[in-house]
Structure formats: C-alpha cells, structure tokens
Amino acid sequence: MNTLKLDPQRLASGKVRLPGSKSMANRALLLSALASGTTRLRNMLDSDDTRYMRKALIQLGVGLREQTLDGELVIEVDGLGRLFQCSESQQLHLGNAGTAMRPLAAALAFSQGDYVLTGDKRMFERPIGPLIEALTAMGADIEYQQNEGYPPLLVHGQAFSGGSVCIDGSLSSQFITALLMVLPFNQVATHVTLTGELVSLPYIELTLAMMERFGVVVERISDREFMVPATGGYQSPGEFLIEGDASSASYFLAAAAIAGGTVRVEGTGQKSLQGDIAFASVLQQMGAKVTWGDDFIEVERGRLEGGQFDLNAIPDAAMTIATTALFAAGATEIRNVYNWRLKETDRLAAMATELRKTGAEVEEGEDYLRIVPPATIKHAQIATYDDHRMAMCFALLAFAPAGVEIEDPACCAKTYPDFFQDFAKICHL
Ligand SMILES: O=C(O)C1=C[C@@H](OP(=O)(O)O)[C@@H](O)[C@H](O)C1
Ligand SMILES: C=C(OP(=O)(O)O)C(=O)O
C-alpha cells in the first residue's frame, strides 16, 4: 500500500491557481460535442473523470484537438451539430465518473446505434434507475446488464416519443442534468416535472447556465417544472472558459482557516457558476475571514467554532467541513447529506470511521454526521476508499500536532492529479 506522510505544518499561506472545474469540464465537453460549430475549451481539467469523457467522445466520432499553452490545457471540439450516430456498437468505459455516465446515458438513448456503458466496480453500485425510468418514458430502450437500476447499461438508440416527462431528483441531481441536456434534440418542446426531495440544486443551475451559453434557454415554469425548447440542438459559443474548480478550492481555503496566514485561490470567485463557492461562506460562519473577488477567494484564519449546517447544496465541499470540524471549538453537525452514501464510496460511513481514528467522537446518522473534536488530534493513518475527496480533505490533518498519513494518495487523480504538490506549496513549517 502506497502511503503519503504529511509532517506537522505550522502555517498555510500562498496562492493557488485552481485546476478546471470537473463539473463544468464534462458538461462543456458534451455540449461542445453536440453543438454546431467548433468550440475552444479553455482551462480544461486534465484528470481521470475528464479523460473518460474525452475518450468516450473520440470513440463516438467527435474530433478533439489538444494544446497546452503556458501550462493551460485547451481543447478544440468539432461539434457534430446532432446527437451521435455509430454504425458499429461501441463499449464506453467511464471509470467512476458520474458526470460522464449519467449525461452520456441520456445522450446515447436518443442517438443512432447500440452502446454499452460500463465503468469501475463502484460505478455498478451507484444508482441510475430514476434517470433510466425517465428516458424510457420518453421512448428509450435501455437494458441493465447486471443489476436492475445500476450500470453497466446496454443502450439501443431510439427516437424520442412524447413531450412531457417526470424525473425523481432525490438521489442525484445528475439525473436531471443528464435529461435536460439531451431534451433540446426532441422534436417538440418538453415539459419536465421534478419529483422527490431535490438534492444538490446548484448543479442544476450550473447545467441551465451552461445550456444557455450553448444557445438553449430553458423556461422555468415553477421550482419543479421546466419547459425545454425543441431547438434542434446547441450552438457553439466559439470559446468557453472553464472556471477553476470550487470544490478543489475548499482544501486550500480550509487550510488557511485552520492554520493561518492567508491563502488565495484563483480561477473562481463571487461570480462563479459553481455552487461550491458557498463553502467559503460556511467557513465564514465558522469564524474565518473571507474576502471575495470576481476571480479569487481569500481566507484568513479566525477562531473557528462548530455549528449545525445543512450542506445538501454543496455535498462535495461538505467533506472538507467534516475535517475542518476537528480544528473548531465545539461540535459540528453536517446535515442532509444522505447521498454521500452513493458517491465514490459510502462517504458517511467512511468519514465516520476515519474521523474516529483522530480521537474525535462521531455520531453517524442516516443523513448526517455529528463531530466532536478531540482535545488533541491523534496521529492517524487514513484509509481513502478510492475516493479522491477522502484523500484531499484529510490532508488538512497536516496542521494537527502529529501530522497524518494518507493511504493511496494517487486516488486524487479523479479530479485533481497534482493536488498534493499544490498543497505542499501552501504548507509552511
Ligand atoms: O452535476 C455535477 O457535476 C455533480 C453533482 C453532484 O452530484 P449529485 O447530484 O449526485 O449530488 C456532485 O456531488 C458531483 O461531484 C458533481
Ligand atoms: C461525487 C463526485 O463525483 P461524481 O461526478 O462521480 O458523482 C465527486 O467528485 O465528489
């Protein structure tokens, strides 16, 4: 087992230019592939999740050209101006990338051809049933190859039928995102009704904002009803800049809040389309000092106090609050995060187990964690469960008196291959 030992650090300070947002990168790749015209995607993230998407698009016949300019990855995508059409059946391996599996399942359901969508073992445990039900109601023909409701999938491309659909958004917003992104290709405008207790709402806003940049304006009839116009597809905006990843920003901002001095992340800011910038507001509520710019966020240390936070809107950055809680006075309760259980690992169980190794007292509920920090954070060897965010959020224990050891640090490649190099740059003895 490869482990990374982080010796105890005294101070966090410096600037970090963030890698591109995974959520924006995979949406932008797919929208560009389907749009009419060529799109130049700036600040592309180069990580496992975006590589799965890129590779799949190439297999589906999309022309992608890569260039690195001053360290920035730029990808030019020759849009098809239609859905996919493959004469031979294609097997797409999508790793554990939810943002590739869900949107591609929807796009391929109404493309021509037969497709197998497969991935890592964990992907076979992550539900997709509510999306497949909605697609099927619109005419799709999709078979589950192993277990009902889960990938791998066998998709026989079909034409759309009908102009209205309901979709359950209580397990993942990605189902709604996936459905919305394919619907402009329907022959008629589609009335979409969202059912269930909705989760991760800012990601739906991100989808709508990005569809708009590609020429499709979805009408909001109410909080739960949308009308997606039948535009025949998307128009390339020419160039699209992928913002710095706001979830990745959370590790650096939390480091400053815990250890001081001042850390600035660049590439995202108060005008961001990403919901995870709200992480900085949670740090502020805990006592950190936050300064917002249009393209940066800066945090200075404050006296951190725990509290009760409903973090349903920012499930990814919420994991960073769980490790920050070890450095706060009093208990922290992270509420309304049931779908942590459906992600790279069962994050509620994994988080509770690993936090306890530090001496913290942790209560794990069905959809919450209550964390009481220990008097002194103990040295621990942290298991990471092939979950990039477990590896990255526990790096904060470098600011504990005895440091930390992180198992399999390379799993951070899912969204941030250079994370530990960048983290080392803001750590000071
Ligand atoms: O749409 C997206 O880009 C994402 C939505 C969220 O998933 P859920 O909607 O399943 O919570 C988030 O956790 C994931 O990392 C990215
Ligand atoms: C939940 C995550 O990934 P995915 O896009 O695979 O759902 C994540 O990045 O934390």
What percent of the chain lies above the pLDDT cut of 70? 100
Give the containing element (helix H, strand E) for 77.
strand 72-78
pLDDT in tens, 72-114: 999 999 999 999 999 999 999 999 999 999 999 999 999 999 9
Tell me the backbone φ, ψ of residue 242, rounded to 5 degrees: -85, 125
- Determine the Cα–Cα distance for residues 330 and 303; give it in Å rounded to an integer: 12
For residue 260, the model assigns a pLDDT of: 83
Q: Which of 168, 316, 387, 408 is catalytic?
A: 316
Among protein residues, the one whose CA lies closest to atom 5 of ligand 2: 98
Work out which ligand 1 atom sits closest to the CA atom of 27.
3
Does 15 count as an annotated binding residue?
Answer: no
CB-CB contact of 12 with 255 (8 Å)? yes
Closest CA to 325 of 310, 338, 307: 307
pLDDT in tens, 15-32: 999 999 999 999 999 999
Work out which ligand 1 atom sits closest to the CA atom of 177.
1
For residue 402, the model assigns a pLDDT of: 96
Q: How far is CA 413 from the centre of its chain?
A: 13
Structure tokens of 253?
């901002």
Does 23 count as an annotated binding residue?
Answer: yes
The residue type of 35 is: A
What percent of the chain lies above the pLDDT cut of 90? 99
* Cβ neighbours for 280, distance < 8 A, ≥ 6 positions apart: 249, 253, 290, 292, 297, 299
For residue 209, the model assigns a pLDDT of: 98
Degrees (nearest 5) of the Cα angle 175, 179, 184? 160
Overall average pLDDT of the 55-63 stretch: 98
For residue 87, the model assigns a pLDDT of: 95
- Look at the domain 22-225 and name its fold: UDP-n-acetylglucosamine1-carboxyvinyl-transferase; Chain (3.65.10)
Overall average pLDDT of the 393-403 stretch: 97
pLDDT in tens, 311-361: 999 999 999 999 999 999 999 999 999 999 999 999 999 999 999 999 999
CB-CB contact of 147 with 174 (8 Å)? no
DSSP letters for 121-159: GGGGGS--HHHHHHHHHTT-EEEESSSTTSS-EEEE---
What's the gap in Å between 410 CA and the centre of ligand 1? 21
122 pLDDT above the threshold of 90: yes
For residue 302, the model assigns a pLDDT of: 87
Does 27 count as an annotated binding residue?
Answer: yes
Burial of 196 (0-12, 13-18, 19+ CB in 10 A): middle
Nearest ligand to the CA of 127 is 1
For residue 26, the model assigns a pLDDT of: 99
Domain boundaries, the chain: 3-19+245-428, 22-225
**Cα(first)–Cα(last) distance of the chain, in Å?**
27
Is 22-225 in the same CATH topology as 3-19+245-428? yes
For residue 354, the model assigns a pLDDT of: 98
Interface predicted TM-score of the whole assembly (ipTM), two decimals: 0.99
Torsion of CA 392, 395, 396, 397, to 10 degrees: 140
263 pLDDT above the threshold of 90: yes
Question: How would CATH label the architecture of 3-19+245-428?
Answer: Alpha-beta prism (3.65)
- Determine the Cα–Cα distance for residues 192 and 136; give it in Å rounded to an integer: 14
* Cβ neighbours for 161, distance < 8 A, ≥ 6 positions apart: 138, 139
* 422 is an active site residue: no
CB-CB contact of 94 with 20 (8 Å)? no
For residue 97, the model assigns a pLDDT of: 98
1 pLDDT above the threshold of 90: no
Residue 58 — very low, low, confident or very high, per pLDDT cuts 50/70/90?
A: very high
Closest CA to 211 of 241, 181, 191, 172: 181
Overall average pLDDT of the 400-423 stretch: 98
Please tell me whether the peptide bond between 202 and the residue prior to it is cis, using omega within 30 degrees of 0: no
**The pTM is what?**
0.98
pLDDT in tens, 133-187: 999 999 999 999 999 999 999 999 999 999 999 999 999 999 999 999 999 999 9
